[in-house]
Amino acid sequence: MAQQIKITMLKQFFILCSGADKNLLEGCSEGEQTKYVGIGATVFFTAVMAFIASSYALFTVFDNPFIAMGFGVVWALLIFNLDRFIVSTIRKRDSFKSEFLQASPRIILAIIIAIVISKPLEIKIFEKEINTVLLKEKNAMALNNKKEVANYFKSDVDKNKAETDNLKAEIAKKEKEVNALYETYITEAEGTKGTMKLGKGPVFKEKIAKHNLASAELDSIRKNNLAKIAVNDKKAITLQADLDKKVSETQPIIDGFDGLMARINALNKLPLIPSLFIMLLFLAIETSPIIAKLLSAKGEYDYKLEDLETALKATLTQNKYQRDLLVKTSASMHDKVYEDIAQDKKLYDLQRQKATELLELQAHNFVEKQKQTM
């Protein structure tokens, strides 16, 4: 008994979803009622699918299940109400073309909804493939980011490096000069070069003095340049630290490059056929209530509804005709009455007398106003 009540309640609920006239449908056959139960169930489950799809789509945007489900409920109710309205207003006619034209706005809307809603679910289905595409793009973006940051600091780094190289080159040049002077005075002492005299003569003393002077200059240059090089090395470390900091600051932006739009772009780089079939599946789901109504044959309920509508239309047409006839008859009677009044000599003389009195009164008033202005 309880199960029978549940079945009846479910049946009444689906009839309500179909938008059919409950009282009119109760007098129809069981088969006719079952048809509208099926149409109502299609409308209901389409709304359920709209809730699931829209909730997931909005979850990928807001990353909050409560907000996503709230918007999902609103979207599902919108689709439910729209489908119920269109299904209930489509009238079975002798021409399929006229029925299709009635449903065309909903079909166009279904195509748009199918495209919008199918994308998030495609993203979920192909999540692993999309993650692979995004990983490649993130790696490429990270490399480009490092190059751009390096180019930003390139002038300072190159300038610092050039200064350090020049300082080192100056030390090396002086060292080479000192080594050459050392070799000169040694060979002079050995008698192998220069004056070719063995021993430490005047020329030897002159050459060793030059060497000692150059060596002292080398020590001074080395001391000053090494201090400057140390400063430049610290500056290079600071520049490198700033570069690494800049890269680390921009890296989270690259790591966060996995939003809805990024995933849609990654999805578009995958093969088209699987995505197309998923979109067509959603298109079929979205249009299923309309298709169910269009494919259903004209039944007992449709004939009864047509009979009620045509009877109401006939009554309204008859009432309108009677009102028009009443207005026309009343106007004709009023025209005849006023025509008889216009031919009454006594009434004419009275109207003429009153008009004469009015004109005399206006003339007297005009004369009085003219006297006041003089």
As a whole number of angstroms, the distance between CA 5 and CA 25 comes to 19
Whether 6 shows a pLDDT value over 70: the answer reads no
Query: What is the residue extent of each domain of the chain?
Result: 2-126+270-298, 133-262, 314-373
As a whole number of angstroms, the distance between CA 65 and CA 54 comes to 12
Q: pLDDT confidence of 74, banded at 50, 70, 90?
A: very high
Q: How far does CA 307 lie from the centroid of its chain?
A: 48
| Residue percentage of the chain with pLDDT more than 70 | 87
**Which pTM was predicted?**
0.54
Predicted confidence (pLDDT) per residue in 170-216, tens digit = 888 877 877 777 777 667 666 666 666 666 666 667 777 777 777 78
Length of the chain equals: 374
Instruction: Look at residue 337 in the predicted model and tell me its pLDDT.
Output: 67
Which run of H or of E encompasses 262? helix 260-268
In contact, 193 and 184? CB cutoff 8 Å: yes
Predicted confidence (pLDDT) per residue in 263-309, tens digit = 888 888 888 888 788 888 877 877 777 777 777 777 777 777 777 77
As a whole number of angstroms, the distance between CA 372 and CA 374 comes to 6
Whether 336 shows a pLDDT value over 60: the answer reads yes
Site of tokens 């006023």 = 338
pLDDT, mean of residues 18-35 = 81
In contact, 80 and 36? CB cutoff 8 Å: no
Percentages (nearest 5) of helix, strand, coil residues in the chain: 90, 0, 10
Neighbours of 268 (CB within 10 A): 11
Q: What radius of gyration do the chain's Cα atoms show?
A: 51
Q: Which of 15-19, 212-216, 367-371 has the lowest mean pLDDT?
A: 367-371
pLDDT, mean of residues 94-123 = 75
Whether 239 shows a pLDDT value over 80: the answer reads no
Predicted confidence (pLDDT) per residue in 119-163, tens digit = 777 887 888 888 888 888 888 888 887 887 777 777 777 787 888
Instruction: Look at residue 359 in the predicted model and tell me its pLDDT.
Output: 74
Convert 120-169 into a string of H (helix), E (strand) and C (coil): HHHHHHCHHHHHHHHHHHHHHHHHHHHHHHHHHHHHHHHHHHHHHHHHHH
pLDDT, mean of residues 44-69 = 83
